[in-house]
C-alpha cells in the first residue's frame, strides 16, 4: 500500500513500521526505490518511537487485532498525529459469525469497543459501518483544535503506518 501511494504522489513521504524485524526488512526492499521519501522501522504499536504531532495520517491496515493492548496503540496514534491529523484503518471485528468460523482472537475488537475507546481519547471520532470481518472506520477523525475540517484532506507532510 505505501509503495503504491508513494508512486502516485511525488510529494508524499512515508514511515512504515512493523513489530517483526523480518517484515521491516521486506518493507525496506519494497520501499528502496523511493529513497529518502520512505523509511521502514521496527516499532511496537503501543510505544511508537516518534515525537508528538509528527504525522498527518496514520493508516492501520489490519493490525489492531495483533496488538494485545490495542487501546494503548490507539492512544499512541493520537499522540503522534498532528492536530487535524487522521487515523484511517480497517480490521477484523470480533462478531459471533467470526468466532463460529474460528477466526476470532482474544485481542480482536468487539462491536462498540472502538467507539468506547475513541470516547476516552482527545479526538473527534467517526467510526463508520461494519461487516462480519471489518469496520470501515477507525476511520476519519481529527484532534481537537484543528483548523482543518475532518472532511478535507490535510497538507502532505510525513505519513506514518503503524503496524
Tens digits of pLDDT across the chain (163 residues): 788 989 999 999 999 999 999 999 999 999 999 999 999 999 999 999 999 999 988 888 888 888 889 999 989 998 998 887 888 877 777 777 777 777 766 677 877 787 788 788 877 766 655 543 333 233 344 445 544 333 333 333 344 543 3
pLDDT, position 162: 38
pTM of the predicted protein model? 0.75
pLDDT, position 92: 75
Domains of the chain: 2-161 (3.40.50.150)
Q: Order the strands of the 81-90 sheet from edge to edge.
A: 38-42, 13-18, 158-161, 55-61, 81-90
pLDDT, position 28: 97
Nearest to 61 by CA among 101, 88, 30: 88
pLDDT, position 125: 62
Q: Are 54 and 160 in contact (CB under 8 A)?
A: yes
pLDDT, position 80: 92
Amino acid at each position: 500500500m505505501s509503495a503504491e501511494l508513494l508512486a502516485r504522489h511525488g510529494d508524499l513521504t512515508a514511515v512504515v513500521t512493523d513489530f517483526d524485524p523480518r517484515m521491516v526488512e521486506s518493507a525496506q526492499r519494497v520501499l528502496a526505490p523511493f529513497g529518502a521519501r520512505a523509511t521502514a522501522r521496527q516499532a511496537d504499536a503501543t510505544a511508537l518511537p516518534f515525537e508528538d504531532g509528527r504525522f498527518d495520517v496514520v493508516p492501520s491496515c489490519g493490525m489492531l487485532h495483533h496488538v494485545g493492548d490495542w487501546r494503548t496503540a490507539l492512544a499512541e496514534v493520537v499522540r503522534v498525529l498532528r492536530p487535524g491529523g487522521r487515523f484511517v484503518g480497517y480490521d477484523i471485528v470480533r462478531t459471533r459469525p467470526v468466532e463460529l468460523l474460528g477466526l476470532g482472537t482474544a485481542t480482536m475488537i468487539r462491536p462498540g469497543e472502538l467507539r468506547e475507546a475513541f470516547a476516552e481519547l482527545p479526538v473527534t471520532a467517526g467510526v463508520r459501518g461494519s461487516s462480519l470481518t471489518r469496520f470501515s472506520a477507525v476511520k476519519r477523525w481529527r484532534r481537537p483544535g484543528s483548523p482543518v475540517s475532518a472532511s478535507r484532506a490535510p497538507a502532505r507532510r510525513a505519513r506514518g503506518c503503524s503496524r
